[in-house]
Amino acid sequence: MVVASLKQKIMKEYVGDRMKAVIPAAGLGVRFLPLTKDMPKEMLPVVHKPTIQYVVEEAVSSGIKDILIITGRGKRSIEDHFDRSLELENVLGNNGRTEDLEEIIRIANMANIHYLRQKVPLGLGDAVLLARQHVGNEPFAVMLGDTINLSKVPVVKQLIDMHAELGGSIIAVEPVSRDKVQDYGIIKGTNISDNLYDIEDLVEKPSPEEAPSDMGITGTYVLSPRIFDCLERTPPGRGGEIQLTDALRLLSKEEKVYGLKFEGRRYDIGDKLGWLKTTMELALEDPELGPQLSEYLQLLMAQQR
Ligand code: G1P
């Protein structure tokens, strides 16, 4: 028993250590125009950090050391954010702003970050397929660049641990309301346990009538490398784009694909309301900003009445 659990612990650490993450961040951000005309939605600030920094930090705190970000035209500021800025470092150093200096150097040294550009916006599936050569023949994580997860155990770590136990591919899912199913990939599966589904089918953004369940794909995945073959065979789907969900559908016919109802909260900053809610909620939780913001919001609400 002890040996078995020790073995499992070693296995989990081994898998986490070797696993690469792919962060697709090439989307055009059309739900947030005109702001995203020239600015990546992944760089939208949530309190004091750009969204994609939360994503990279989740990967790093899960033991992932190698990250490939799929970018595109107009996304240069993402690379600059994770790069050293010697000029700024000099100024901060000379002004004795040691904490800020340490923080910006930490951000630049967090992980081995690689970049690849998706030249034509052909969809999430196409962006993931671009990672094939970098990833090789190993399971890997996919974490959407516009989705923030907050949890005690990082969500991608929860998936990595489940993968170490079960193998196959694991997708983070959560219940979504009926009127929102058309914004998500939706799974059809049977319960293995309270929070785990054996996935039989998946549909990208179905109408409420077509939706096979209310369990939505939230944007964090641990995938078998076989997904690349499936992506090669996936024709354009919803919106004329190559959909990762359609490739997962093919994969689920060939290998095990599980859905994990993870522990934690997920925020999608890709649309205006989602971003506002995320910013408010996280700012309210911030020990410095929270109390003052809460007071201000209460005042504002009272004036609205
Ligand atoms: C993508 C996926 C979808 C998933 C969603 C989560 O869609 O295609 O299956 O449910 O992310 O945010 P997007 O939001 O990029 O249109």
| DSSP letters for 151-164 | -SS-HHHHHHHHHH
What's the length of the chain? Answer: 305
| 196, 260: one domain | yes
For ligand 1, the distance from its centroid to the CA atom of residue 268, given in whole angstroms, is: 10
Mutate to test the pocket of ligand 1, among 144, 146, 246 (most ligand atoms within 8 A of CB): 144
- Residue 136 sits in the same domain as residue 201: yes
How many domains, in total, are found in the chain? 2
Q: Rounded to whole angstroms, how far apart are CA atoms 163 and 247?
A: 19
Could you give the percent of the chain with pLDDT greater than 70?
94
The torsion defined by the Cα of 101, 70, 230 and 197, in degrees rounded to 10, comes to 40
Confidence of residue 150 (pLDDT cuts 50, 70, 90): very high
Backbone angles phi, psi at 172, to 5 degrees: -75, 130
Q: Give the pLDDT confidence score for residue 4 in this predicted structure.
A: 67
Q: Does the pLDDT value for residue 169 go beyond 90?
A: yes
The alpha helices in the chain, defined as continuous H runs, are 2-18, 51-61, 76-81, 86-94, 98-109, 124-129, 132-135, 155-166, 227-232, 244-254, 272-285, 290-304
Domain that holds residue 301: 273-305
Q: What is the mean pLDDT of residues 161-188?
A: 96
* Residue 103 and residue 174 in one domain: yes
Is residue 293 domain-shared with residue 149, that is, in the same domain? no
pTM for the structure as a whole = 0.93
Instruction: Say whether both 217 and 248 belong to one domain.
Output: yes
Whether residue 288 sits in one domain with residue 167: no
Q: Are residues 74 and 200 in the same domain?
A: yes
Same domain, 144 and 114: yes
Q: Are residues 290 and 249 in the same domain?
A: no
| Residues within 6 Å of ligand 1 by CB | 124, 144, 147, 184-185, 204, 216-219, 243-245, 268, 270
